[in-house]
Structure 1
Amino acid sequence: MSSIGLTLVGLALSLGASGTAAEVVAVVSAKSPAVMLSKNQVVDIFLGKASRFPEGRLAVPIDQDEGSAARDEFYATFAGKSPAQLKAHWSKIIFTGRGQPPIAVPNSIDVKKHVAANPNSMGYIEKDLVDSSVKVLLTQ
């Protein structure tokens, strides 16, 4: 391969590696009494292992559609699961009749709207979308 070809390959690899995902945070409505949750508590709610906030209120997780960058980042960072592992997890839960995955909306803006309107909801959005309508429970 020529030195120009090697340079172009190196440039392409460095550009691909420098594209970092936006920081994703778990959020609830600004009206929610929830203050702070551990990483495990957040993950348990999103994976169907818990259905209530620690103080006993029903927890309604709002997921994002499969393939969304925020969803992939959230599950990789918080649960240590790839999209394939997440799909396998929910297939097992559904097959055994132990639950259903969270409702999913297309993007972080829709998550924020759902969460802001319902104090029992919890979702995840990019940190730069946080405003006074939601509060952060947990960051990466």
Structure 2
Amino acid sequence: MRNIVFLILLSIHLSFAGDLVVVANKNSSLSNLTKKDVVDIFLKKRLFINETKIVAVNLPASNHIRANFEKNFLKMEPDELADYWTEKHYYGVTPPIIQQSTDGLKAFIKHVDGAIGYIDRDKVDSDLKIVYQNTK
């Protein structure tokens, strides 16, 4: 019985976990990004938009929000992404910086011009603006 309850709660949690948005500082010139923009930014294929230097911010690899982002936005599994960054390393390209928590990510974005990250929609506050939402 406990297993059934656990599975039900897990499925409810996962259904809400898909409601991620990409955010920037409310004063940022970034707005209305496309999915391609988001993918290119987080794979470091695009470093500027409208003369604004972009600073992509990740959560730790162990974070379920990051796993959801990589699967549903980047369409990559962890091993594929690890291989991608290993290859890019030889060209001097490093992965996005990491903040240890959603609160840390939000604080960084609020204080760094051009910073962009992903969070659950319900964590967006008045200091942030949504620049992309996945329509699946």
- The TM-score with structure 1 as length reference comes to 0.84
- Name the larger-Rg structure: 1
2:66 matched to which residue of 1? 71
The TM-score normalised by the length of structure 2 is 0.87
Runs of 4+ aligned structure 1 residues displaced above 6 Å come to none
CA distance in 2 between partners of 1:71 and 1:114 (Å): 16
Matching residue of 1:136? 130
Query: What residue in structure 1 maps to residue 120 of structure 2?
Result: 126
**Partner SS, residue 106 of structure 1:** coil
Aligned partner (choices 62, 77, 81) of residue 82 of structure 1: 77
| Structure 1 residue 37: Cα displacement | 0.4
- For structure 1, the residue ranges without an aligned partner over 5 or more in a row are 1-7
CA RMSD of aligned residues (A): 1.9
Unaligned 5+ runs, structure 2: none
| Structure 1 partner of 2:29 | 33
Amino-acid identity (%): 24
CA distance in 1, matches of 2:124, 2:4: 34
Partner of 1:4: none
Q: CA 1:30–1:81 in structure 2 vs 1: closer, same or farther (change >3 Å)?
A: same
Q: How does 1:1-140 map to 2 (within 5 A)?
A: 11=4, 14-15=7-8, 16-20=10-14, 21-53=17-49, 55-94=50-89, 96-140=90-134
Shift of 1:70: 1.1
Deviations 1:25-54 (A, max 9, x none): 10000110112100110110110111112x
How many residues are treated as equivalent by the alignment?
131
